[in-house]
Structure 1
Amino acid sequence: MEIISVSDLKIGMFVAEPDCPWTAFPFIFQGFVVTSPEQIALFRQKCRFVSIDRSRSLNEHYAAPRHERDLPLHAAPITGQRIEESSGKGELFSANEKERRNLRRRRFLDFLHSQDDNEQACQLSRELADVEPRYDQLTTALQHAFETLSEGRDVDLLTVREGLRDISASLQRNPDAVMWLLRLKQRDEYSFDHAMDVAVNMLLVGTHIGWRDMRLLDLGMTGLLQDIGKIELPLELLRKKTDLTEAERRLVHSHVASSMEILMAHSTLSNDVVLAVARHHERWDGSGYPRGLKFEQIGMAAEIAGIADSFCAMQKDKPYRSALGHQEALEELHNLRGKKFNPTLMEQFVQCVGLYPIGTLVELSNGEVGVVILQNRVQRSRPRVVVMLDADKQQVSSYRVIDLREPAHAGLRVAKALPYNAYGLAANDYYLG
């Protein structure tokens, strides 16, 4: 932390603590990035000094928490033959294809671990090694919970909560590791993958705004369980491609009540989780359901759940729309601030998830396509990218890493973020066969 005079406070600095109580301010959050002259004026009215966190500040006000060597990552060639796509019919993926996909994912994880000449990459590798078995334990426990609940049987959610505790701790140390595992260990099951996506994004936001301990764990549990009531809806209704009738829409909305009924039977869940699940489809302008609540009536946990749920859903193929890229989804969601979503919370969400987070598929200005493997903490728009397709959109034969911050790549930039399935890459999980 660094203590500065309020006269030196600038837009882009992260204020961790003022020298007077936070209650003296009308701000919702205790700790945030300054984004307007009005916020600076308020600090200058109320106090003389503030503590700022350079590691959470933006642009020229950012400073790394520890020294980083700015060295390029080594590219690692792929060994072995290219894996042919499954020709099996009648199911999405054959057993052999799932095994082969897991091998490709494992190979890419091993590649990430092999990056050892850059401090940020070393930190990521160490965190991946620590959290991967814990992540696997959580997904196994969650899968068991989903299956048990779908059979109408009681389930102990304590194992799931303990798994979330490990994930939450990892996100606070190095959020990139869990985000990589989220990309690399998808199970090709929409409801399960979506629950994990939402929970991790909610934990990210909660950590960003300063939530800790039980409050943060409850936020993660809300993300995992908010749509559990959909297990009681007909599968054909969830897959319907045409507009829903009014009766069908009411039936879909009923999943909130079903979720409540399921969750209230579990004494190990806090009331805060149940309440957030009940309200995560409510919207800032009162247009949500089931009660049409608005503004502060909704509650911050439910508001975070609504934003994360919408954001993650936009990036997945749905029966009625194709997946959006990370940037497109963020822009669409940001345009709804002050309407569907709390504008202040939306600004924090945008700051938290960033432009090109790790695992984002991007197209470069030279036409090549790759996946972001490390964020640039100083220049967020210039990440490190592993090239997957050449300029003609043909798959490359080995890993080639481009660090957009290096002088050699000064003329290259990210042209746009892409949906996860752009150019057919979803079939190969991006990670080269």
Structure 2
Amino acid sequence: MAYGRIKPSDVHIGRPLQWDVFDEKGNLLLGKGHVISSENQLVRLLQLGMFADNAALQRSRGDVVIDETLPPSTVTLLLVARKKLETLFTQLEQATLEDNFVARMHEIVAHVEGGCSVNPNVALAMILLRQDGRYAIRHMVNAAVVVNLVCKSMGKTEDERRRIVAATLSMNFGMMDYQDKLKQQTTPLTPEQRAELEQHPFKSRELLANAGVLDELWLTAVLQHHEYIDGSGYPGKLKGDSVCQEAQLVSLADLFCARVTPRAYRAAVASNVALRGILLDRGKAFNPLLAAHFIKTLGIYPAGMMVKLANGEIGLVSEPTEKANCPIVSSFIGPRGAPLTIVLKRDTSLDLYAIRETVDPKSFAVHINMENIWGSAAVEYRI
């Protein structure tokens, strides 16, 4: 067993220990589940030297280690990004004190980039198919996926792309708990709630600056990610070129991912409908060129969208083709409504397999095995 030294930040007074604790010679001091009850007791133990299984320590800190001998998996990389982002947010004060917030954020950016590089279609499909876990966290990771892919489409440099992705991953740090609460609300926002909501870009920017973020592009994109070029946004009611391009990219991704996610007060909007709304808004709320790049990247029928074909089969959009309105669909439900024994790839440019309509996934109680559709890139390794 490899041991790692326990840091003061690993132990919380009054909470059960997450691992067995040993001294430097490997002798057991405290068992897993033991509760340290006082500050004095903790100080004495730390002075003595406390050690635990290194792998267990890494897991409790959110330092997820991916087995590099396994085939690369988009699903796993993005789930790791979600887990690390949640850990970083909960440890924000500690990261600020240890001056490692920016470095830890760039690790998460690298996971998002890696997941998109392995298979961009799986990365997009996760937005629609993996709507589990804490909403506030997965929403920012989902939006970061979209931003990363759109930036690549636009030819942004690697440095620019990483800075914009970092902004997307931290855009809502000033309202995380509030955002989770609002997602469950079934009534319209009160004026007081709206006022609090419109302050979160300021709060997010302040938290990031205090955590050691010095990059003005990052900070400005966070501050302006709810501004619209027609002046209808917040918190500054900025107009035109006063709203930076980076903030508009974050805003477009934020809007799309929010619309395709169900809320307590409304169902999810079909992704092609969400894109159509963005198309109609371009030139009003967003720069038309940016909106065009955004729609070009996601496609008319984004990966992961459930559709019904002309022959009656139901499947998921699995990859784009040169024809924007004719993607490849992986059918897994037959014309009579029974699950197919194997997934069938369908070219929707053919009349027999043309897309007839979009389908609400909740209308089918069928398990969607992403690995059957996208292979090893969709494998979820244990993390």
After superposition, the C-alpha distances for 1:208-241 in whole angstroms (9 at most, x for unaligned) are 1111222110111111111111125385444222
Distance 1:130 1:370, change over 3 A: closer
Distance 1:405 1:287, change over 3 A: closer
AA aligned to 2:327 is P
After superposition, the C-alpha distances for 1:130-154 in whole angstroms (9 at most, x for unaligned) are 6565445433321211322399975
Match of 1:346 among 286, 291, 295: 291
AA aligned to 1:401 is L
Match of 1:423 among 350, 355, 363: 363
CA distance in 1, matches of 2:249, 2:313: 35
Indicate the residue corresponding to 1:381 in structure 2: 325
Distance 1:128 1:344, change over 3 A: farther
CA distance in 2, matches of 1:218, 1:192: 18
SS of equivalent residue, structure 2 residue 194:
helix
Tell me by how many angstroms 1:402 deviates. Answer: 3.0
Tell me by how many angstroms 1:182 deviates. Answer: 5.4
Indicate the residue corresponding to 1:211 in structure 2: 156
Which stretch of the first structure deviates more once superposed, 136-145 or 269-278?
Answer: 136-145
SS of equivalent residue, structure 1 residue 399:
strand
Indicate the residue corresponding to 2:136 in structure 1: 191
TM-score if structure 1 supplies the norm length?
Answer: 0.62
Indicate the residue corresponding to 1:402 in structure 2: 345
Q: CA RMSD in A?
A: 3.1
Tell me by how many angstroms 1:157 deviates. Answer: 3.8
CA distance in 2, matches of 1:234, 1:193: 12
Distance 1:338 1:380, change over 3 A: closer
Kindly indicate whether the alpha-carbon contact (under 8 Å) linking 1:226 and 1:280 is maintained by their aligned counterparts in 2.
yes
Distance 1:178 1:279, change over 3 A: same
SS of equivalent residue, structure 2 residue 316:
strand
CA distance in 2, matches of 1:132, 1:271: 31
CA distance in 2, matches of 1:345, 1:322: 27
Indicate the residue corresponding to 1:324 in structure 2: 269
Tell me by how many angstroms 1:416 deviates. Answer: 3.0
Match of 1:298 among 243, 258, 282: 243
Indicate the residue corresponding to 2:91 in structure 1: 148
AA aligned to 1:251 is E
Answering whether residue 176 of structure 2 is matched by residue 231 of structure 1, we say: yes
Distance 1:211 1:236, change over 3 A: closer
CA distance in 1, matches of 2:262, 2:131: 14
Match of 1:414 among 343, 355, 358: 355
Distance 1:129 1:178, change over 3 A: same
CA distance in 1, matches of 2:95, 2:209: 14
Match of 1:261 among 206, 210, 234: 206
Indicate the residue corresponding to 2:58 in structure 1: none
Indicate the residue corresponding to 1:359 in structure 2: 304
Structure 2: unaligned runs, 5 residues or longer = 1-69, 373-383
The percentage of aligned residue pairs carrying the same residue is 24
Alignment map for 1:17-96 (pairs within 5 Å): none
SS of equivalent residue, structure 1 residue 317:
coil
AA aligned to 1:369 is I
AA aligned to 1:417 is T
Which stretch of the first structure deviates more once superposed, 168-177 or 281-290?
Answer: 168-177
Distance 1:162 1:319, change over 3 A: same
AA aligned to 1:351 is K
AA aligned to 1:148 is Q
AA aligned to 2:323 is Q
Kindly indicate whether the alpha-carbon contact (under 8 Å) linking 1:303 and 1:341 is maintained by their aligned counterparts in 2.
yes
Kindly indicate whether the alpha-carbon contact (under 8 Å) linking 1:324 and 1:418 is maintained by their aligned counterparts in 2.
no
Indicate the residue corresponding to 1:10 in structure 2: none
TM-score if structure 2 supplies the norm length?
Answer: 0.69
Which stretch of the first structure deviates more once superposed, 310-319 or 236-245?
Answer: 236-245
CA distance in 2, matches of 1:308, 1:416: 24
Tell me by how many angstroms 1:395 deviates. Answer: 4.7
AA aligned to 2:86 is Q
Tell me by how many angstroms 1:175 deviates. Answer: 2.4
Distance 1:144 1:300, change over 3 A: same
Kindly indicate whether the alpha-carbon contact (under 8 Å) linking 2:136 and 2:176 is maintained by their aligned counterparts in 1.
no
Kindly indicate whether the alpha-carbon contact (under 8 Å) linking 1:404 and 1:410 is maintained by their aligned counterparts in 2.
no
Kindly indicate whether the alpha-carbon contact (under 8 Å) linking 2:101 and 2:212 is maintained by their aligned counterparts in 1.
no
After superposition, the C-alpha distances for 1:309-348 in whole angstroms (9 at most, x for unaligned) are 1111110002332101111111111111111221221112
Distance 1:206 1:322, change over 3 A: same
Kindly indicate whether the alpha-carbon contact (under 8 Å) linking 1:358 and 1:372 is maintained by their aligned counterparts in 2.
yes
Kindly indicate whether the alpha-carbon contact (under 8 Å) linking 2:92 and 2:211 is maintained by their aligned counterparts in 1.
no
Indicate the residue corresponding to 1:281 in structure 2: 226
Tell me by how many angstroms 1:173 deviates. Answer: 7.1
CA distance in 2, matches of 1:360, 1:389: 14
CA distance in 1, matches of 2:354, 2:133: 31
Structure 1: unaligned runs, 5 residues or longer = 1-126
State how many pairs are aligned. Answer: 302
Indicate the residue corresponding to 1:9 in structure 2: none
Distance 1:320 1:153, change over 3 A: farther
SS of equivalent residue, structure 2 residue 357:
strand
Tell me by how many angstroms 1:272 deviates. Answer: 1.2
Indicate the residue corresponding to 2:20 in structure 1: none
Distance 1:265 1:418, change over 3 A: farther
